[in-house]
Structure 1
Amino acid sequence: MEIGQLEQLLRARFTGFFPEHTPPLEEHPAALAAVPTAAPSPTAWSALVERGALVLPTSRAAGGLGLGRPAAVLIAELMGAAAFPAGAYLDTLLGIDLLERCRPSAARARLIRDVVQGRHRIAVGFRDGTADRGPDTLPRWTDLALAGDRLRFEARFPTVVSADEADTLLLVGDGVAGVLPLAAGDPAVLLEPRSVLGQRRLFDVDVSGASVPRSDLLEFTADPAAVWRDVLGQARLRQAAHLVGLAGGALDAAVGYARNRRQFGKPLGRFQSISFRLAAATARIEAARLLVRDTAVRAEGGEPVAAAAARALAFAAELGRTVTAEALHIHGAFGMTLQSGAQRYFRTAGAESVWLGVVPELRKLVPA
C-alpha cells in the first residue's frame, strides 16, 4: 500500500479519535514536572487498542496486520498533532520490537499476542541513569548470576513510562543477550513515582533479589548490541514522527489564533511579520514530515535505520522546539495560560525532544 493511501486510511480511523481522548487542558499541570498520581482510567488505552493502534503496524508473524513502520510513524504523528499522550504507546511498540527479535518460543508468542490484542500491558526498562550512559548504551545490572536453573539479579531502571499500569516489565541490560520479562507484581519489584515529564508518567523501578527460571529469558536472535541499535533506531523514527505531529498541531493552533485575533482592525495573520513566520514553519514541518516518512519506507524495505533515524530525530527535535515556541509567541500572553493549547504543545515538545537522545549526541551517530 502506498504511504499516501495508508495516510488516508489512518486519518479516517484516528483523526477524530485522538482529540476525543486527549485529556482536557485544565487536567495538565502548569509545571514541567509533578509526582504521578494514580494510574489513569484504562478506557483510553482500551479504545486505542480496539481502534487497531497496536495490531496495524505489527508484523503478521507477531499477530498483527503487517502495515509496518510507515503505519507506526503515521499514527505517532497523528497522536502528536492532537497532543494525545503517546509515551505508553510508543514504549509498547519498542517492547514489541524487542520481543520480535527474540528466538521463537511459546512464551514469547503468547506474550506478543496478548500485548498486541490489548490483554496485557508492558513497560520497558532500558535506561541506566548514569550520567555518561544514554539510550544508546544498555544499562548495567547491579548483580546478575546464574544459580542452578535460576537467574538471580538486581538492577535499577529509572524513568520507566507508565510502569504502574503494566502487567509485565521488559528489562534489557548489558551482559544479558535477551529480554527478561518480570511480573510487575513480583515481590522483588519496587516502583517509585518519579515525575510527569511532558505527558509521560515516569517511575523508577528497583529490582532487588529477583529470581526467575533461566527459561524465562527470551534470547535475542543476533548480537545484543546490534539488536538494540536497530530497535532504538525504530523507536527514534516513531519519536521523530511524534515531534513532527506536535509541531503541526502547534502550527494549526497558531494559524487559528492569528486568523481570529484582531489588532488594529484586521486579523493578526494579515501582518507580514506573522504570516512569514507561519509560512516558514509550514515549510520546515513539511520537510521533516517527508524525511521521516521516506526513512520509514526505506526501513520497511530492509535498509539499515539507525543513522537515518538519528538524523530524522535530530531534525524533528529542533523543529518541535522551535515551532512550538513560535506558536507560543504568536499567542502572546494568552498562550501561557492553561486555557491555551499552545503551552501544552510547547511543554510536551520540550520533553519529547530529549527522550531518546539530545541533538548533539544524535548528530554524532550520523556519518559525515
Structure 2
Amino acid sequence: MDPVQVRLAAAVRAALSRTGETHAELAAIGVPELGLPDRLGGYGLGLGAEVVVDLELGRQLCPLPARRETRLALDLLPDDRGAADLAARAAKGETQLVTAGAYGTPALRLDERDRLTGDSGPLPADEAALAVVRALRPDGSAQWCTVVPDGPGVESVDHPLLGLPGRMLRFSGAPATPFTVPEQVLHTALDAGRVRQAAVLTGLAEAALAAARAHVNRRLQFGTPLVDRQSVAHRLARLVGEGDGWRLLVHEAAWRHDRGEDCRAVAALALAAAAEHALACSRLAIQLHGVRGMLAHATAATAYRHASAEAARLGAPRRLWREAGARLAAGGRPAPGLGE
C-alpha cells in the first residue's frame, strides 16, 4: 500500500474503536465519499481506496454489508434517479441502499404493469431508502427497476443469517420504476462489487489467522507452546502465505479496475479465492481454539459466522471459479503476473 492508503487504514481503525454508530463514525472521516466519482460529490479515489477500507473492516470483524450494497446501488443508478442526492445522504451516514438480483439469475418477477413480486433474499439489517432490483419480465428478459422499501406491496421481514442480524424484502405487487443500465456500466459496477466483497473476506481471514496465531503461541501443551508442533505451524504458515497472495490479487484487481480494464474474470477469481480462504482460516481458528473457539463471543466463532455469511452473499465460490475459468478460457486472460 502507498502512504495515503496506510494512513487511510489507520483512520478506519481509529473510527471503529469509538463507541458511536459505525456508519456515522466512518462518515465523519469521509469514508463514504472516497471512491464516489466527482459527479456524485465524491473524491474520485477509485476502487483502490475502497479496497483499503473494506480490508480493514474485515480485519476488525465489522464487515458492514450495507456499505457495499449502497455503493453497488449508486454505481447502477443513473443520474436522473436522484443518485447524487442519495450519495450525499449516504456520505453523511444518514441513509443506505440495497440491491436484489444483481448477481446470478433473478428470483423476482416484474409483470406488464411494472408490479414486482417475490423475495429479495438475505439483505443487511440496516433500513434502506431505496432498493435497486433486477427482475424477470414475463418474456424472460431482465429489467432493472427501483422500489421504495417502505412503500405499498413491500414487507420487511427479519431474516437472521448464522446468528447475524439481517432482513429480507417481500414484494407482493409493489410498484416499481424501470430503468436501463448500459452494458459497460453494469459490468464495471458488478466487478467493483465483487472486488469490495473479496477485500472484506480477505480481512476476515486475516482476523481469524491473527486470533489463531496468538492462541497457539500462548497455549501450552505438555509444557511447550502449541505452535511448536509442526502439524500446527505448517498449516498456519501455509494459510498466511496464501493470504498474502490473495490480498495482493485483490489490490491488483482494484488497480486494473481503476485503469478501465475488463475485470470480469479477475473479479470473479478474486472473490472465489477470498471466500474459500476466509472459510479455511476461520475453520482452522476454531479447530485450534477447541471449545473456547466455539463460544459465541470468541473471535474465532465471530470470524467464522461473518465469513460464512459473506462468502455466499454474491454467489457460491464454486460458481465463481467456473465463471472465472470460462472467461479466461474465452480469451479474457489477465496480464502476466496476475495469479501466477
- Secondary structure of 1:241's partner? helix
Matching residue within 97, 111, 131 for 2:86: 111
Q: Distance in 1 between matches of 2:214 and 2:155?
A: 46
Per the alignment, in what secondary structure is the counterpart of residue 135 of structure 2? coil
Pairing 1:185–2:163 present: no
Distance in 2 between residues matched to 1:48 and 1:81, nearest whole Å? 15
- What's 2:336 paired with? none
* Mean Cα deviation higher: 43-52 or 348-357: 43-52
Aligned residue number for residue 206 of structure 1:
171
Change (3 A) 1:19 1:82: farther
Q: Deviations over 1:34-87 (max 9, x none)?
A: xxxxxxxx9222222223221112122211111110111111111111110421
Cα deviation code 1:262-313 (max 9, x no counterpart): 2222222233322222211110110000011011001100001211100111
- Equivalent residue runs for 1:296-311 within 5 Å: 296-311=254-269
Partner residue in 2 for 1:33: none
- In structure 2, do the counterparts of structure 1 residues 19 and 157 end up closer, same or farther at CA, with 3 Å as the change threshold? farther
Which residue among 111, 124, 129 is the counterpart of 1:143? 111
* CA contact 1:198–1:352 (8 Å) conserved in 2: no
Residue deviations 1:221-262, cap 9 Å, x none?
A: x24xx5434322211111111111011000111111112212
Cα distance in 2, alignment partners of residues 207 and 10 from structure 1: 43
Q: 1:98 is matched with which residue: 54, 72, 76?
A: 76
The match for 1:6 is 4
Give the letter aligned to residue 334 of structure 1: R
CA contact (8 A) 2:149 2:169 kept: no
Counterpart secondary structure, 1:338: coil
Kindly indicate whether residue 40 of structure 2 is the aligned counterpart of residue 62 of structure 1. Answer: yes
How has the CA–CA distance of structure 1 residues 142 and 182 changed in structure 2, closer, same or farther, with 3 Å as cutoff? closer
Report SS of the residue matched to 1:46.
Answer: helix
Aligned-residue CA RMSD (Å) = 2.4
Q: CA deviation at 1:217?
A: 4.6
Decide whether the 8 Å contact of 2:107 with 2:120 is kept in 1: no
Match of 1:17 in 2: 15
Q: Does 1:341 align with 2:299?
A: yes
Displacement, 1:178? 6.9
Q: Match for 1:77 among 34, 55, 69? A: 55
Give ranges in structure 2 of 5+ residues lacking alignment: 330-340
Say if 1:323 and 1:13 are closer, same or farther in 2 by CA, change over 3 A.
same
Secondary structure (helix, strand or coil) at the match of 1:365 reads helix
CA contact (8 A) 2:97 2:130 kept: yes
Q: Structure 1 counterpart of 2:55, which letter? A: E
Deviations 1:134-166 (A, max 9, x none): x23344424132xxxxxx412223225236611
8 A contact 1:124–1:160 mirrored in 2: no
Paired residue total: 323
* Counterparts of 1:52 and 1:144, CA distance in 2: 42
Q: Which amino acid aligns with 2:315?
A: G
Counterpart AA for 2:152 = P
Answer yes or no: is the 8 Å Cα contact 1:13–1:51 preserved in 2. yes
SS of aligned partner of 2:34 = coil
How far off its partner does 1:97 sit?
Answer: 1.4
Query: Unaligned regions of 5+ residues in structure 1, if any?
Result: 22-41, 128-134, 146-151
Question: Aligned AA for 2:133?
Answer: L
Q: How many angstroms apart in 2 are the aligned matches of 1:20 and 1:164?
A: 19
2:290 aligned counterpart, secondary structure:
helix
Correspondence for 2:160: 195
**Counterpart amino acid of residue 11 in structure 1:** A
- Secondary structure of 1:159's aligned partner: coil
The 3-state SS of whatever aligns with 2:117 is: strand
**Overall identity of the aligned pairs, in %:** 28
Q: Residues 107 and 17 from structure 1, CA distance in 2 versus in 1: closer, same or farther, beyond 3 angstroms?
A: closer
User: What SS does the aligned partner of 2:112 have?
Assistant: strand
Instruction: Name the aligned partner's letter for residue 239 of structure 1.
Output: Q
In structure 2, the residue matched to 1:47 is 25
Query: Given the alignment, which residue of 95, 99, 123 partners 1:161?
Result: 123
Measure how far apart 1:169 and its partner are: 2.2
What code does the residue aligned with 1:79 have?
L
Match of 2:233 in 1: 275
